A and B are shown apart, each in its own frame.
Chain A
């Protein structure tokens, strides 16, 4: 179905009604499978049982970067191609991405405490994810500050694009600067370096998280469309009450 067809909010709602439960079920199955396999995999010789957090922490990290990319693409859609649903998708991506980013920071912090001895460290990887989180919050704050959804969407789109430069910095910060954070062990040019007994559950869990993201993103878009409809209905109600 061409993207232009989805521009119709009614068509979108109908599609969403089917896709959201589908993705949600898929997400539940995959994440459950990933976690079960993950718990059956051997514990890390250094970190003990705590390493299991990886199955939530790493996919959240990937998704927070991914969501920002979705937001940036949606921003282009708003400003350049003027797709009607682009700013709705952007707002949804901002909300979900911020949540995953927060989850990444919190799980990472809990993982870091027994592993490095501190809840937090100001090393490049952690700091740039924190900065990413701040950028998300900035976009969300801007969206909230402007009452008109279309104007807010355009302003937030500009901000999102400006902040996009941080995304590759986060990804590569671990390689560019010496860091206490784990070096990249999955997304490497010469193949992953972690053992398959950990890699498989991780990838399954990640796929589940992706399905979760899709479900949540579509649901957030649907909610935003409903919110806008309420706003329009209120404006119309006031206009129709005129002249009494």
Chain B
């Protein structure tokens, strides 16, 4: 089973690196979102600093959504999904493997670049660490949630927007506590740990819910 898990993660990472538009696109999109916010809001530095954490979270969330619907689509299109279903490992584990590879390839770069973008928005340096930490905990949950949407949209050609519509409402708790934890560091009214621990709990819940629901969806919805 470990061999199967590692094989899937390794292959998906290789594919993400070789096929154009993997990690890079997510980071560019994140940068683009951060860039357009001041155009809409105005170059009001204090305002940008105040909403900075929120903008980073929204940007990371939207950038994570890119390509989530494709997690299973590629394998479905060339028949690899059949092979995955015959592996001596539960479908849930396959889902975890694919989500892990997807997060390493697309989610992790977002977490790494977030502090840099936070600097551009004038976010408080103390808060930059907090933003990265909350994103580190939150983006895997978004990916694992996305697994469900990916499973449901396996056969749909235009699954992209549908996935976003499905995932965004479920991701709201992550957003709330992620931004709350970051602002806690700046405002200091509540300790960082309180919302952060809730964020971790919700993330862990989604880490389990995602693969379970995705596997169920794949079994029932496919054909």
Contacts and interface: CB of A to CB of B under 8 A. Distances in A.
Given A121-B45, A141-B20, 10 more contacts: A118-B45, A119-B119, A120-B119, A122-B48, A127-B38, A127-B43, A140-B24, A144-B21, A146-B20, A147-B20
Contacts of B122: 118, 120
B35 interface: yes
Nearest to A143: B20
Contacts, number: 43
Contacts of A230: none
Contact of B25 (A109, A118, A121, A141): A141
Interface in A87-119: 109, 118-119
B6 interface: no
A144 B28 CA distance: 13
Interface stretch (A16-24, A78-86, A130-138, A208-216): A130-138
Interface residues of B, number: 17
A144 B17 CA distance: 11
Nearest to B35: A130
A137 B28 CA distance: 7
B14 to A, nearest CB: 16
A137 B24 CA distance: 9
Contacts of B25: 141
Nearest to B39: A127
Contacts of A122: 38, 43, 45, 48
Top-7 shortest CB links A-B: A122-B43, A144-B20, A145-B20, A122-B38, A120-B120, A145-B21, A137-B28
Contacts of B35: 127, 130-131, 134
B24 A144 contact: yes
B87 interface: no
A134 B45 contact: no
A214 to B, nearest CB: 27
Contacts of B28: 134, 137-138, 141
B7 interface: no
B32 interface: yes
B21 A141 contact: yes
B181 to A, nearest CB: 23
Contact of B31 (A120, A134, A140): A134
A134 B33 CA distance: 11
Contacts of B24: 137, 140-141, 144
A146 B21 CA distance: 9
A118 B28 CA distance: 23
A138 B35 CA distance: 14
A119 B119 CA distance: 7
Contacts of A140: 24
A123 interface: yes
Most-contacted residue by chain A among B38, B120, B122 (CB, 10 A): B120
